[in-house]
Amino acid sequence: MKFTDGFWLLRDGVKALHATHLQKVEASSDGFTALVAPKVVEGRGATLNSALFELEFSSPLADVIGIRVRHHRGGNDSLSFELAQENPKTTFAKSDSSTSYTSGALTAQLSKGTAFNLEFIAGDRVLTHQRSKSISIFNDGGVHYLSAQLNLGVGELVYGLGERFTAFAKNGQSVDIWNADGGTSSEQAYKNIPFYLTNRGYGVFVNHTGKVSFEVASESVEKVQFSAECQDLQYFLIYGPTPAEILEKYTALTGRAPQLPEWSFGLWLSTSFVTDYDEKTVSSFIDEMEKREIPLDVFHFDCFWMREYQWCDFEWDPRTFPEPAAMLTRLKAKGLKISLWINPYIGQASPLFDEGKAGGYFLKRLDGSVWQWDLWQAGNAIVDFTNPAARDWFKSKLRPLLEMGVDCFKTDFGERIPTDVTYFNGADPNQMHNLYTQLYNATVWELLQEVKGADAIVFARSATAGGQKMPVHWGGDNTSSFESMAESLRGGLSLSLSGFGYWSHDIGGFEGDPDPAVFKRWLAFGLLSSHSRLHGNESVRVPWSIDEEAVEVTRTFVNLKKKLHPYLIKTMHEVTAKGLPMMRPMLLEFPEDPTAWFLDQQYMLGPDLLVAPIFTPNGEVTFYLPAGQWRNYFTDEVREGGRWLTETHGFNSLPLYARNGEK
C-alpha cells in the first residue's frame, strides 16, 4: 500500500509516525527488546503524549533474525504461520555506540542516538538496512497500519512473493498478499507468499497471515516496503548467502515438502472441467492412450463426477456412474491411480447442506446465519475448518471414496473466502482469508496420510506460506496461447523461489481450444515439469483431438520423462532434504552469473538438466547456456557455455542440455 505522494509528502488523509530515537534496550531470554520514540526526545516532557515502537529481536534458527514491531499490545496478536524453533546459539552485545545481536553468521546491529539505524550484517558486508522512516505507523482515515522498509542496493533484484504471473523480477511492482481466483493473466495470484529473496544474499519473510502489501522499489525506488493493517508485525531476515541456502533456511523455518509417490511423476489425464462424460467416455480415453502406446499413470475425474447443483455432496452422479466402485476396480486393474475433484463449498441442493448447517460446520454471517452466495453452485456455503468437528465431518465424507479406490483429491478453490463472516474459533476473518486454504488442504492431507500413508498427495490450486508441506500445486486457469504458456512458467518459477518444491500446470492451457502448435510445444514443457497433467475447461486435452502429430509428441515426451525417472526421484530427495525446488530458476543454480538473474523463459530441472521451452510455432528459440560444458540430450553434441544460442526444433525436440556434458 502506498502512503506517500512522491518522496516528500504524504497522501491526503494519511498521518505518520516513524521510529526515530532509540530510548532503551533490554536483553531477554531469547533476544532483546528496543524501545524507539517517533521523535527526538530531548527531555522528560517530550515523553508525554507520544507513542513508542517496541522492537522485539529473536532468532528461531541460525542465520535467521526476527524483528517484531509492536505499537499497542492490548489487543489480540496477529495470527502467525506455524514455524520451527530450534533455539540456536546467539550473542547479545552492547557498546557505547550500538547494540548487536548475532545468530550464526548474521548480525542485527542497532545504533544508539537520535537517528534510527538498524543494519543487517554478514561478515564485513551490510546486506540491507533500515534507517530514517523505515519503521512506521500510518493512520489512513482512521485505519492503522504498521510498515517496514528494507533498503535495496544498486542492481539488487527481488524475487518470489508466491506464484506471480507478472514480471519475474518484482522490482517496480505493487504486490498484495491476498489469495484470489484471478487466472494467470492478471496481477492476482492463487498462491500468495509473504516471502522474497534478493540477489544480494538474503531473504525476508513477513510472519503475518492477512493482507500484506509490498511495494517493491515502487513507492520508494530504493526500498522494499511491506505493510499490514495491524498493531504488531513480525518479519525475519534470512541470510544465505546463496539463493539455494536462503531457500534451505526458509523452508527449515516454514516446512518442506515430503517424499511423493513415484507414480505421481507420470502423466495425469483429466476429463476436463465442464465436459460431458461417463464411464464409457473415460474408458475410451484410457483405452485409446494404451492403443497409441502413451503411458498413463493417473486418471482424474473433474467436477461433474458429482451431480450439478450439488457440489459438493461427494456422491457419484448415478446417471453417468451407476456402479462407481466396480468402475474404479476396472480402471485400477489397468494400473491407474484415480484422482477426484473437490472443493470446500457445499451447495444448498446438496444433502450435506442441512447436515452442515445443523452441525455448525459453515462460516457464518455476523448475525449467526450461514454465509451463502450463488457463485459456482446455487446457495454455496463454505466449510469452517477452524471447527475441529467440521474438519472431522469433511473427512468423513471423503473417507468412503478412498476406501472405494480413489487415490488422491484435487483440492480446487479456497481463494474467494469472504471477510464479512465469523469463524468458529473467533479468528479475525481478514487474517484468516489467506490461511483458510492451509486448513482446507491440511484437512484433506491429514486424511490422505492416514489412509494412504506414503502415497499421500493432493493436487491443490491455492496456498500460502507453509503450503509446500502438502504438495503438489498447479498453476490455475491459463489460456491456450504461447503468452499464457510463458506466464505460467513465470508463475511456477516465482513459486519455486517461495519455498515450493513441486509445481504443475494445465498442458495446452485451460481456457479455449489450443492451436496445434501451442499444444505440441506445451507438451514438451509440461512433460519436463515436476508434475504433468492434461486438463482443459470446455474441451478435453487428449492428444488425438488435436492432430496425429500431437499423439507422437505426447508419446515421445512421456517416454522421455519415464527415462528420467531415476533422476527425478534423486532430485525429489533434495526437495525434501534441502527445500530446493525440482524446477529451478537459473539464478538458483548460477547465482554468480548476472545473466541468470533475469532469465524466466528457461529453467533447470533438478541440478543438471537445462530446459528451454519453445514459445514459437516455427520452433525457433533463443536461450542461454551458463559457463561450462553442456551436452545436448538428444544429439550428444557437447557445447561450451557462457553464451546465448539460437536453435530451431521440430515438435519432438527442444533445447535440453545436461550440465558438465554428463550422460
The helix (H) or strand (E) run that includes residue 519 is helix 516-526
Nearest to 134 by CA among 6, 237, 2, 20: 20
Within 8 A by CB and 6+ apart from 662, the residues are 608, 631
> Would you give the DSSP letter of residue 463?
B
Strand pairing partners for 1?
A: none
The catalytic position among 415, 487, 574, 600 is: 415
The question of whether 547 is a catalytic residue gets the answer no
Mean pLDDT of 467-485: 98
Confidence of residue 235 (pLDDT cuts 50, 70, 90): very high
Confidence of residue 412 (pLDDT cuts 50, 70, 90): very high
Q: Residue 663 has what pLDDT?
A: 56
The question of whether 412 is a catalytic residue gets the answer yes
Same fold, 15-72+86-125 and 262-343+387-574: no
Q: DSSP letters along 562-628, please?
A: HHTHHHHHHHHHHHHHH---SEE-HHHH-TT-GGGGG--S-EEETTTEEE----STT-EEEEEEPSS
CA distances from 568 to 244, 526, 527, 573, 575 (A): 18, 14, 12, 9, 10
pLDDT surpassing 90 at residue 315: yes
Angle between helices 388-404 and 352-359 (to 10 degrees): 150
Nearest to 561 by CA among 517, 606, 516: 606
Q: Nearest 5°: CA angle at 53, between 49 and 59?
A: 165
CA–CA gap between residue 517 and residue 618 (Å, rounded): 8
Q: What is the pLDDT of residues 94-126, one digit of tens each?
A: 999 999 999 999 999 999 999 999 999 999 999
Q: Whole-prediction pTM value?
A: 0.97
Which sequence spans correspond to the domains of the chain? 15-72+86-125, 262-343+387-574, 585-659
pLDDT surpassing 60 at residue 186: yes
CATH for 15-72+86-125? Answer: 2.60.40.1760
**Number of other residues whose CB lies within 10 A of the CB of residue 219:** 21
223-228/143-151 β-pairing: antiparallel
The question of whether 415 is a catalytic residue gets the answer yes
Q: What is the pLDDT of residues 607-622, one digit of tens each?
A: 999 999 999 999 999 9
pLDDT surpassing 80 at residue 195: yes
CA–CA gap between residue 188 and residue 173 (Å, rounded): 12
The catalytic position among 156, 215, 477, 589 is: 477
Q: Residue 382 has what pLDDT?
A: 98
Mean pLDDT of 11-19: 97
Q: Does domain 262-343+387-574 have CATH number 3.40.50.12500?
A: no
Q: Residue 385 has what pLDDT?
A: 98
Question: Contact, 131 vs 36, CB < 8 A?
Answer: no
Q: What is the pLDDT of residues 337-382, one digit of tens each?
A: 999 999 999 999 999 999 999 999 999 999 999 999 999 899 999 9
CATH value of 585-659 in 3.40.640.10, 2.60.40.1180, 3.90.79.10, 2.40.160.20: 2.60.40.1180
> Side chain identity at 652, as an amino acid letter?
N
CA distances from 581 to 34, 256, 314, 585 (A): 37, 10, 33, 9
Confidence of residue 29 (pLDDT cuts 50, 70, 90): confident
Within 8 A by CB and 6+ apart from 323, the residues are none
The helix (H) or strand (E) run that includes residue 656 is strand 656-659
The catalytic position among 119, 215, 412, 589 is: 412
All 3 cell numbers of residue 292? 497409441
Indicate the average pLDDT of the chain.
97
Q: Residue 78 has what pLDDT?
A: 81
Confidence of residue 662 (pLDDT cuts 50, 70, 90): low
Radius of gyration of the chain (CA): 26
**Number of other residues whose CB lies within 10 A of the CB of residue 548:** 10
Question: Contact, 361 vs 392, CB < 8 A?
Answer: no
Q: What is the pLDDT of residues 523-532, one digit of tens each?
A: 999 999 999 9
Q: What is the pLDDT of residues 430-474, one digit of tens each?
A: 999 999 999 999 999 999 999 999 999 999 999 999 999 999 999
- Location of C-alpha cell 538474503: 202
638-640/629-632 β-pairing: antiparallel
Q: What is the pLDDT of residues 494-546, one digit of tens each?
A: 999 999 999 999 999 999 999 999 999 999 999 999 999 999 999 999 999 99
Helix %, strand %, coil % of the chain (to 5): 25, 30, 45
CA–CA gap between residue 274 and residue 538 (Å, rounded): 5
- Location of C-alpha cell 484435487: 410
CA–CA gap between residue 485 and residue 488 (Å, rounded): 5
Q: Residue 661 has what pLDDT?
A: 66
CA–CA gap between residue 156 and residue 150 (Å, rounded): 12
